[in-house]
Copies of this chain bind each other. A is one copy, B any other.
Amino acid sequence: MGVTKTENYTEAQVELSKMIKVLGHPARIAILQSIIKANSCICGDLATEIGLAQSTISQHLKELKSVRLIQGTIEGTSMCYCINQENWHKLKNELLVLFNSANIDESACC
């Protein structure tokens, strides 16, 4: 069908996977790294920097905004984006819970 059966999962599983999914595209990784590198808001030179059309970058930014990994404010005629620290850390912590829950000791059987 192509539609995810969200009713099969816990709210936490759906929410976490939704956040992760947004991270799962090289353009959005590149955008985030670029924002982080600038250490503050950078604006629409992302398009030329990354090599995608302006509308495409705008769409990726929208997705990053939709899960609140970034936030933007109007800065004159441009937009100023930066990491949403609160949600950034929330996601980081949830990922750590997941990744740390796998036992290190080699009880693995395969």
Contact = CB atoms under 8 A, between A and B. Distances in A.
Interface of A: 4-6, 8-9, 13-14, 16-18, 20-30, 32-33, 36, 39-41, 50-52, 71-73, 75, 80-83, 85, 88-89, 91-92, 95-96, 98-99, 101-104, 106-110
Contacts of A17: 23-26, 28-29
A40 B14 CA distance: 24
A57 B110 CA distance: 19
B26 A6 contact: yes
Contacts of A108: 40-41, 82-83, 85
B99 A85 contact: no
Contacts of A85: 102, 104, 106, 108
